[in-house]
Structure 1
């Protein structure tokens, strides 16, 4: 009997040891299969991004996706997408390491003309265009890279032979050389899931002469999008799915925070801040007292903090919309102001005022305004004006042709052609 018990004990010990060894053996198998270099590279990237104040992990959502993204495919044709959330995201995810590496290695920028940009567009290219003007440091962080360039960027164009053009807020078009991994370029160009398109700058006709050269043009098959219904959230309705707890949690509040009612608003108070939630869904956060002066946040870290708050706010109402960063400004004395817009399936929603505004001072969020609204597809669609007709309708040069949701007389939002002016 004792011998049998001893055998069982030994067998159990062996099973425990094998179980403990399993993760080690699995790790060794991965290392031998991939080699040490990829693992070391991933670890190094993690450390580099942590220096910005937070860690950017592969697959994390940036605070703004490009409004359009395009790349020359392996067959020499241009493939891209514009104002279509899923397809733009696919192109971006397949190519962002290429662009991030270029942005991180580019230096010594010099002025570039619009004609020079058109010449670049005729070659093998990768291009991102944004609705807003985004700090280079933030763009690089989202692409798992780093940049010390002090510029706000609305367009990046990379060529296969290693030239990077940027459309910037303060200097206009600038150009520099950058590192390009030819093997990575070949892999990305063979994995594009977008449709064919062309640049306005290479179209050769007169219909698009007023458009910014990087504007993407697609075959005219007729474009339509859903008409959206708009309504405020219903946090006080027990039958609604809106989650007040989730919204409060985004700003660091508990549902047990002290609260009281004001006219058309519910007010929540903690030791050092106040949060007002109006009946129309507008949220106003104010820091009631300044804490001891602290270190200013890195701009990329402030953007990430605001993005996480907006993510919770959107989730609280089950919205199908996404917030996107439009601009980020620093005042030189520890103050930072961030403005966000709203997009529905990649198309901006225009209301005449920013969707959200955040102000940081010395590392602390001091004010925030978020205009929470629920936008839902009505089941009705509307076609937009063809690109050629829309481009011919405006005599002003330097415009990037786009699409936006605009409010109608009945309170619904319908898609319409719009122009973003990128040249002064």
Structure 2
């Protein structure tokens, strides 16, 4: 399939030169590659023969670097965004991972030259050292990335390859084998609030911060209660429309999510479309908000604010501003400064609370909008009971099986086991 031959010639200065040439045929074309050393030529010959046998070979002359293809790939993302197949925020995230993490390492590489082991080492480097900027080396970002965030960069590289394979830039996707070499990515530990934390937050949110308008305080209060007692995400809260808030029936219809670009989109999956019951106090809270503070707007969203730039026109409540100006100060006022600073942790608490109060796991999964209860159990179910309650539960189980409480013998610390004795 391939052969190695010594090639000799005389240059313009009359000097004798020689090298080793690998000759092979691929796709009906005669190809060649030259090397100074025979062992390099032999290694390339074996590599070419294996790739030709597996159908994965791409000639160096036909190779394209990731840098050269990046502009076309970003236009592809733009086209998908315009067609509605990709959200603006997702497209922005893809571009960020591509420019900050993928191209600085692989930009000068040709698609077919990237090997799974290189993908593996790059991924580990992201988690250990953070971003790599050209000329600055590893660690330019000041610390490593979390496993989940680094996995997003790996996902973008994989999408880049899936886009490039039909264009003959590569024959295989090294990210698949690279991910297999990683043996899975450990997820970051998810923190949640304790009952005491949430009680403190609920008490603190009753008092309006001195710099907040009444409407700003009302939005924060409603958002906290919707997250704690209904388990809604912040995007679902800000994406609620008036028809979705059925006050007379005491039902929240989760049908939309508001993106950072003020786009009202559907849920992540069909299971995200759900009806969530509201406790009576939340019905009163929302009824009061709609009567006093609701701003009429074209999408008929429940929560909007007035824009200072557009003459007081209804505007989106920016998530970053909400966190910085409302959520974080609320945590400071409540005295909750550690554990779970993210607003999304309230949703985790809601799921754990439902389970702790005896609601079946399948029902909790349905209320949270999960397609399977495995997600609820593995990610959202956090223990809320303390050691005393656990001990009491274990004692109750033992007593129900043994028939009577057992006390340790004062002499040897043991008691006779009498199952079923009164």
**TM bracket (short chain):** under 0.3
Which structure features the higher share of helix residues?
Answer: 2
Q: Higher relative contact order at CA 8 Å, sep ≥6: structure 1 or structure 2?
A: 1
TM-score, length-scaled by structure 2? 0.24
TM-score by length of 1: 0.24
Bigger Rg, which one: 2
Structure with a larger share of its residues in strand = 1
